Amino acid sequence: MLYLYLETKFMDEYIIMARLPETPEPNELSETYAEICRVLNKDQPVKLITSMSVRPDLAKATWGMMKNLMTEGQLPPSVKQLIMMVISTQADCRYCAFSHQGALKSMGIDESVIKDCLDDPMSAEIPELHRHITQFAAKSAKNPNSITDDDLNQLRDVGVSDDELIEIGVIVGFSKFLNTWADASGISNDIPTDGLVQVAS
């Protein structure tokens, strides 16, 4: 079961406002869950989606967006994972940060590179293009109003196309949505965290 809490102060106690089952009505999400397991190479569908199961329409829409961003587009999968890992860590979202670290490790990215990307993307031993993309994504996630024409032109100068700029922006926004949902819904991490860079809670 998934519990959602609304921190309503009433006689110095927190009130449980809703109790949501994670199991949908039969067959409503079975095909979606099977596709998630197939695409992500997992035994079970991810909790980011199962936690929305009382609203199959929203679960399907969220998965559709996730699948599109992670399997299509012009950016390499590792760069997408780097972007989402850095943003999730910046937001202190343990579930998402650990998930993206695990994905990067499964792609063969060394733990030291992951740590360097979290400390300072521009110092990490990754291609220069990827350093600039990751740094830009982190800045735009933290304070989108701080992005200037110079920031965009710097990306263009290192070879980022306008199509890729849009893709980066959508990944940043979607990552922040997932961070918010993961933390607000209180879902627990479902991957081993041994060997992963720890994230503040």
Specify if 65 maps to a domain.
yes
Specify if 200 maps to a domain.
no
Domain end point (choices 41, 72, 103): 72
Instruction: Please give the pLDDT value at position 31.
Output: 94
More confident residue, 121 or 24: 121
Asked if the model's pLDDT at residue 37 lies above 80, the reply is: yes
Tens digit of each residue's pLDDT (9 = 90 or more) over 11-24 = 333 323 233 555 55
Q: Are residues 66 and 108 in the same domain?
A: no
Q: Are residues 98 and 84 in the same domain?
A: yes
Q: Are residues 161 and 128 in the same domain?
A: yes
Domain end point (choices 72, 97, 127): 72
Q: pTM of the full predicted structure? A: 0.82
Q: Are residues 152 and 173 in the same domain?
A: yes
Specify if 147 maps to a domain.
yes
Instruction: Please give the pLDDT value at position 23.
Output: 57
Q: Are residues 89 and 104 in the same domain?
A: yes
Asked if the model's pLDDT at residue 54 lies above 50, the reply is: yes
DSSP-derived secondary structure letter, 182: H
Q: Are residues 86 and 171 in the same domain?
A: yes
Asked if the model's pLDDT at residue 59 lies above 80, the reply is: yes
Number of residues written out for the chain: 201
Instruction: Please give the pLDDT value at position 190.
Output: 60
Q: Are residues 92 and 143 in the same domain?
A: yes
Asked if the model's pLDDT at residue 102 lies above 50, the reply is: yes
- Which residue from 95, 104, 97, 117 is spatially nearest to 76, judged by alpha carbons? 104
CA-CA distance, 84 to 81, in Å (whole number)?
Answer: 5
Specify if 52 maps to a domain.
yes
Q: Are residues 109 and 154 in the same domain?
A: yes
Q: Are residues 103 and 171 in the same domain?
A: yes
Work out the burial of residue 54: count CB atoms within 10 Å of its CB; fewer than 13 is exposed, 13-18 middle, 19 or more buried: middle
Tens digit of each residue's pLDDT (9 = 90 or more) over 148-200 = 999 999 999 999 999 999 999 999 999 999 999 998 888 866 665 555 555 55
Instruction: Write the CATH number for 112.
Output: 1.20.1290.10
- The whole domain housing 169 covers 77-185
Instruction: Please give the pLDDT value at position 187.
Output: 83
Specify if 106 maps to a domain.
yes
Q: Are residues 66 and 89 in the same domain?
A: no
Q: Are residues 50 and 88 in the same domain?
A: no
More confident residue, 1 or 113: 113
* Mean per-residue pLDDT over the chain, rounded: 83
Specify if 142 maps to a domain.
yes
CA distances from 8 to 5, 15, 21, 97, 185 (A): 9, 6, 22, 28, 16
- Which residue from 166, 109, 119 is spatially nearest to 140, judged by alpha carbons? 166
SS (H, E, C) 4-54: EEEEEEECCEEEEEEEECCCCCCCCCHHHHHHHHHHHCCCCCCHHHHCCCC
CA distances from 13 to 3, 19, 185, 194 (A): 16, 17, 19, 36
Domains held by the chain: number: 2
Q: What percent of the chain has pLDDT over 90?
A: 59
Domain end point (choices 38, 72, 106): 72
Instruction: Please give the pLDDT value at position 28.
Output: 87
Q: Are residues 143 and 81 in the same domain?
A: yes
